[in-house]
Amino acid sequence: MIKIIGALLILLSGSSIGWIISGIYLNRVRELRELQLAFNIINTEISYEKTILSGALIKAAESLSSSLRYIFLEAARGLTVRIGKGFQEIWEETIEKYKEELSLNMEDLVILKNWGLQIGVSALENQINLNKLIIKRLELQEKGALELASKRVKIARYTGVLISLMLIILFY
């Protein structure tokens, strides 16, 4: 009886690890999609209503879940509370603070940070182009992330199950 319970525990743990790893790939896709929606909202706010940056970030945050939401809200707060920092600095610091909680990779984070270099500092036309550019780049990242996920999600899940089965055979 103990052996059966032990075997089940190993199987459960191994499978869970596989599911967690696959979840990282799927979360990245979800986060990249959410970000595209968020930047679309920002672009609409800026181009149609000329909403100031903090307001646009707050509107965009409403469409986001998890840590991405906090990044946008905290950056907006950094702009409204006078702390003597430019947006680029505030944005980078906020991304750095929350990056461990995200599934985005380094390349995704660099794209996000680069947006902070130019936003708010030039004329409307440039801002619209900048927003369109980041949306396009996030689309490409999402495409790549989807391809990667389709390859690795199943592998990660199967590997989890197979390794746990191997361990069970070895032990018993």
Partner 1 sequence: MSSELLEYLPQNIARVIKEERDFEFDELIEIRLRVNQPLHLITYYCDLFPFSSDQELMEITGKDMDTAFRLLTRNSVYAVERQLAEGFITIPGGHRVGFTGQAVLENGKIKLIKDINSLNYRIKHEIPGTGEKIAARIYNPEFDYIYNTLIISPPLCGKTTLLRDLLRIISDGYPEHGIRGRKTALVDERSEIAGAYNGIPQNKIGTRTDLLDNCPKAEGIMLILRSMSPEVIVVDEIGRKEDIGAIREAVNAGVNLLATVHGRDLQSLFLRPSIKKLLLEKVFERYIVLSKRKGVGTLEGILDMDGKEVR
Which chain residues interact with partner 1 by CB under 8 A? 46, 50-54, 79, 82, 84, 86-87, 120-124, 126-127
Beta carbon nearer to partner 1, 90 or 102: 90
Closest CB 85 distance from partner 1, rounded Å: 9
Residue 102 is classified by DSSP as S
Q: How many Å apart are CA 82 and CA 63, to the nearest integer?
A: 26
Beta carbon nearer to partner 1, 120 or 144: 120
Place of tokens 């199987």: 11
- C-alpha angle with apex 33: 31 to 34, nearest 5 degrees? 65
Q: Which two tokens stand for residue 166?
A: 């191997």
Beta carbon nearer to partner 1, 16 or 126: 126
CB count within 10 Å of CB 108 equals 22
Closest CB 148 distance from partner 1, rounded Å: 35
Closest CB 46 distance from partner 1, rounded Å: 6
